[in-house]
Amino acid sequence: MQCIVNRRAQFSASHRYWLPELSEAENIEKFGACANFPGHGHNYVIFISIQGELDEYGMVMNLQDVKQVIKREVTSQLDFSYLNDAWEEFQETLPTTENIARLIYKRLSPYLPIVRVQLFEHPQLWADYMGNSMEAYLTTSTHFSAAHRLASPKLSNEENFEIYGKCARPHGHGHNYHLEITVQGEIAERTGMIVDLGALNKLIDDYVVEPFDHTFLNKDIPYFAEVVPTAENIALYICDVLRQPIAELGANLYKVKLIESPNNSCEVYCTNSESNSRAVAENQPVLVRL
C-alpha cells in the first residue's frame, strides 16, 4: 500500500531580489523593497513529502534517515546563510519562495522518494513544488470581515429555517473570513517568480478584500442578492472574479480556499470556472471540500 509521509524542517536565511543586468531604478521598480541592500530575512519552514510502500516495520522510510538527508543536503547549507550566495543556482535564478522549493526538491530527489516540497516563507506566503520541471504553485493569504444571511429569496422563511437553521435568522451574522489564493505557473528562468507577488496581492485587495470587507454580503454585493452567500458560493464567486485578472498577470488561478471559522472551510479548484459559474447561478451543487 502506498503511503505519503511528511517531514518538517526549518532554516533561517536572508535574500535579496536583485538582477545585476538591471539598473538600481529598474530593480526597485521590479522588486520594490525586496531589492533593498543588503537584503532581508525569513524563518523558513519546509514540509517534505515522501511516498512509497510500507516496509515490514510499518514505515515508508525511517524518519531518522530522512531527517539526516534533509539536514545534510538542505538545512545545514541554508541555515543562517545569504541565499543568493549559498547555492550557485541562485546566481542564475533568484531565491524566490517558489524557486527555493524547486531547488530543495532537486537536491533531495536523488536520496528520497520525494513527491512534494512545501516551503513557507512566512505563515501568509508559501510555495508547493511537485517535481514538474519549472511548474510550481504559490499561495498568498489574506482576510476580510463580513456578515451574511443564509436564505434563498425563492423560499419562505419556514423553508429557509428548515434548510439553514440559525444561519437564516433575518439580521444575519458575521465571520472573520480567512482567504487563501493559490496560483499556478512556470517559474521564470531569471527572476524565479511565477507571478509578481505585489501585483497579485494588490489585485486580491482590489477585487475581493476592499469590496467585501465590513459588508453585509446579501445587501452590499449585488451578486448575493439572488445567490445564497454560503462559504462555497463566496469561494466560487471569488474564483470567477479573480480568474481573468490573474491570467493577465501571466499565471493561472488554481485554487480558492475560504475559511469561514475554525470549524468550517471550503476549497474550490478554479480550472473549470465556467461550469462553476453556471452551477452557482443555478444554485446547483459543485465539488468543494468542507
| Residue 14: CA count within 13 A, CB half-sphere | 12
pTM tops 0.85, yes or no: yes
Which domains are delineated in the chain? 1-130 (3.30.479.10), 132-290 (3.30.479.10)
Nearest Cα residue to 51 out of 10, 8, 16, 7: 7
Residues labelled as active-site residues: 167, 214, 260
Per-residue pLDDT of the chain (290 residues; tens, 9 = 90+): 799 999 999 999 999 999 999 999 999 999 999 999 999 999 999 999 999 999 999 999 999 999 999 999 999 999 999 999 999 999 999 999 999 999 999 999 999 999 999 999 999 999 999 999 999 999 999 999 999 999 999 999 999 999 999 999 999 999 999 999 999 999 999 999 999 999 999 999 999 999 999 999 999 999 999 999 999 999 999 999 999 999 999 999 999 999 999 999 999 999 754 444 444 434 433 444 33
Neighbours of 60 (CB within 10 A): 18
> What would the grid cell of residue 115 be?
513527491
Nearest Cα residue to 229 out of 186, 172, 275: 172
